[in-house]
Amino acid sequence: MRKIARLTTLCLITALPGLDAALPELSALEPLEFDEESQRLVARGDAILSFEDTRVRADRITYYQEYGLADAEGNVAVTQAGNRLIADRLSYEADKDVFAVDLLRTGQWPFHISGVSAGGTTDDILIEGSTLYYGEPGPFALNVSSDQVEYVNAESEYVKMDGATFRVGNIPVFYIPGYTYYLNNSPYYLDLDAGYDSELGAHIQSTAMFPVSSFMRLGANLDLYSNRGVLVGPAAQYVYNSENQQIVGALSTGWIEDQGDDEELGLDIVGQQIDSTRGFAEWRHKHHIGERISMTAVASYWSDSEVTRDFRDDYYDDNQTPDNFAEAAYSGDNFILSAFGRFRPNDFILTQERLPEVRFDLLPVPIFNTGAYHKASASYAQLRENFDLNAPLIEGESDRYDLSYRIERPIHPTSWLTFTPLAGARFTGYDNQQVDPFLLPGAALVDDNFTRDIYELGFDLEMRAFSSYDTVNRTWDINGLRHIVRPVIRYRYYTDPEDLNEIAAIDRSVFDLERPLLDLSDLRNIDQISERHLTRIGFENLFQTRAKGYGSRTLAALNFYQDVLFDKDTRYDGSDQDTFNASWVEIVMEPAPWLKFELASRFRTESMSMEELRTRTTLRSGEIWELGLSTDLLNKRIDQYRLDFIYRLNERNALLTDLRFDADSGEFTRFRLGLRSRVGSTWQIIYFLTFRDGARRESDVEFGINLTLADPESGI
């Protein structure tokens, strides 16, 4: 009936003489009133007035044809190009797209703006007595109130405020005379933890940041510990984007005069007494200029090895050995030119410093029309390693020149077979060597200048086969099945340098249980490259099905690798390597969105004893619950298990558990039980209780509450 009534009124309008060329579309539930002398139309009852891409809806609309002016009263709603404004009363001049309103509300999710009165266009509004909300308006909503706000919906949507008061609900937090805020950034950052444990006592940890410009938020870390004192330090986040630049970074710092006694402060990882003046500074930075230049910087200064473990355990969990480096790189069409520096501001960490390393990498490119490819790299580095507190008076230094070159020629006897012979060489020169006598006995007899050359021969043999099956399974969402098989054989031989005792070994081999790198040019333990003669045999499997919409979805991957050594060395545990050195098995299975299984294992082949096993199994039931089981096994060193579980109680609350077990000690090392709640659309609160066993510095029992500013667009 409503559609019929609107259609009727539209017909009446177009039938009026002289009006059909000038009038916009106007409709209502009640008959229209028309005053021919004043050229005025009045529509009542769910009235709608449309001007091209603008639509006005209200209880009553009065339209003056001569002036192109519309007056709307009662439940007014204006929509234009996806933007919406709601008001109590509106005057709208169609020719100039200008309006004035009383008691308005507008914005785009997750921002809402309300005001006493406003005027302007839908792209530029001046609002009096306004409030900007982040998330849905409510008693705990973050908001900024101002006497006057200009709302601009241009290429970058923003609000410009004069006299801004930041508030939580109706409670003022702080005031600034004025600023411009771009709506694609969150106005606040807030992370608040409170709790109690026997080491720190009752404590509150907080990080708060507020916008000071369109690309930066500034604030501070402020912590209170009843047993230790006050920790404070500035914090910042910045994001800048333009047509040819992207910058993102963050700074977090904290300083405290620790009130704990020497026993509570304890010793650091090198056995030194921790000083009472403690602090940390963490900086991360990424910068892209155009498509070719990128810069990265990471800086972590800690006064001692335990400061973040004591006061900011989330930092410590992510990074237990702080690193400090900076790199700038230029990417050409087929090369990369870079400068890299690594520094050592933390004397408790043994660091191989680069002061700096300049490097040129030629990416694989064809050699004319021969079918062969070659690549090369050249670098110069100033290296330094100072053992300091680890071993006083021990130091290593060198200036190192390194050049590598490799050529390979793929041969395709058939469409399913590729044979790639390859050859390479690496030339390394050392100047100004100060050889470390702790690592190299008799180093005093070593010349400070030295050169070394190593040559590489080898081949890669790869076979490919696949088969497709018309398999359909609705339970696993399988629509067709494709099995891809790739057997591989990789052979490598490096010549024996026979000169390891002539080098200040700073870039040394490290404890790493991953599959060793094979290519000579990829090795980073440049100062300890030894003779190598091996074959790696692999068997790679991939199972895929059609994805909904387009492409394919991987259901499972199963890979086997076996290393066969012709020249044997010493294993990480000090025993001799076997000819059949190690077998690796890697499995990834994700047959359905609710199930994922990952496994990486390593066997000692000749005895078939398990040396390493890492697994992760994840089960999901839609958005209701998620269960994860992880294992981490390293023979005779680590045997640990973890179970984590999330259960969504309702739309706003979820139960969290995290259980960790050490099979060697037979103890549950940590158990955490938590409740996560959503308050309005703005806040997330986590209540948690943690039990530990055998922790070196943490309390055995800890209770805490975490309050964070949530993303209004995400669920719990």
Instruction: Assign 447 a pLDDT band (cuts: 50, 70, 90).
Output: low
Per-residue pLDDT averaged across 30-50, rounded? 82
- Choose the weakest-confidence range: 132-141, 344-353, 481-490: 132-141
| pLDDT exceeds cutoff 90 at 109 | no
The two beta strands, 171-182 and 189-197, are unpaired
Per-residue pLDDT averaged across 5-22, rounded? 31
- Choose the weakest-confidence range: 59-73, 293-307, 349-363, 439-453: 439-453
Which among 529, 531, 337 has a CA at the least distance from the CA of 428?
Answer: 529
3-class DSSP state of 311: helix
Taking the model in full, what pTM does it have? 0.79
Instruction: Assign 455 a pLDDT band (cuts: 50, 70, 90).
Output: very high
Which among 21, 14, 13 has a CA at the least distance from the CA of 41?
Answer: 13
| pLDDT exceeds cutoff 90 at 401 | yes
| pLDDT exceeds cutoff 50 at 60 | yes
| pLDDT exceeds cutoff 80 at 313 | yes
| pLDDT exceeds cutoff 90 at 150 | no
| pLDDT exceeds cutoff 70 at 1 | no
Per-residue pLDDT averaged across 315-333, rounded? 92
- The pLDDT of residue 714: 44
| pLDDT exceeds cutoff 50 at 206 | yes
Amino acid identity of 294?
S
- The pLDDT of residue 226: 94
Neighbours of 565 (CB within 10 A): 16
pLDDT in tens, 495-550: 988 776 778 888 888 777 778 899 999 999 898 888 889 999 999 999 999 988 78
Per-residue pLDDT averaged across 676-682, rounded? 83
Per-residue pLDDT averaged across 160-173, rounded? 84
Beta-strand (E) ranges in 547-621? 552-565, 580-592, 595-604, 609-621
Which among 299, 304, 251 has a CA at the least distance from the CA of 277?
Answer: 304
Confirm if 306 and 266 have CB atoms less than 8 A apart.
yes
Percent of the chain past pLDDT 70, that is, above it, reads: 91
Distance of alpha carbon 26 from alpha carbon 226, whole angstroms:
69
- The pLDDT of residue 21: 35
Per-residue pLDDT averaged across 200-224, rounded? 89
The two beta strands, 683-692 and 701-709, are antiparallel
Distance of alpha carbon 536 from alpha carbon 552, whole angstroms:
30
| pLDDT exceeds cutoff 80 at 92 | no
| pLDDT exceeds cutoff 60 at 19 | no
- Choose the weakest-confidence range: 172-186, 354-368, 676-690, 695-709: 172-186
- The pLDDT of residue 363: 95
Which is more confidently placed, 630 or 20? 630
- The pLDDT of residue 288: 96
3-class DSSP state of 501: helix
Tokens 């399974």, residue? 473
Distance of alpha carbon 324 from alpha carbon 293, whole angstroms:
21
3-class DSSP state of 317: helix
- The pLDDT of residue 110: 73
Whole-number average pLDDT of the chain = 85
- The pLDDT of residue 324: 96
Per-residue pLDDT averaged across 82-93, rounded? 84
E strand or H helix that includes residue 2 = helix 2-15
Phi, psi of 336 (to 5 degrees): -130, 130
- Choose the weakest-confidence range: 77-86, 137-146, 568-577: 568-577
| pLDDT exceeds cutoff 80 at 238 | yes
pLDDT in tens, 546-590: 988 788 889 999 999 999 998 877 776 667 778 888 899 999 998
- The pLDDT of residue 434: 78
- The pLDDT of residue 142: 80
Query: What does the DSSP 8-state code read for residue 502?
Result: G
| pLDDT exceeds cutoff 90 at 224 | yes
Confirm if 87 and 62 have CB atoms less than 8 A apart.
no
- The pLDDT of residue 500: 67
Domains of the chain as residue ranges with CATH: 2-182 (2.60.450.10)
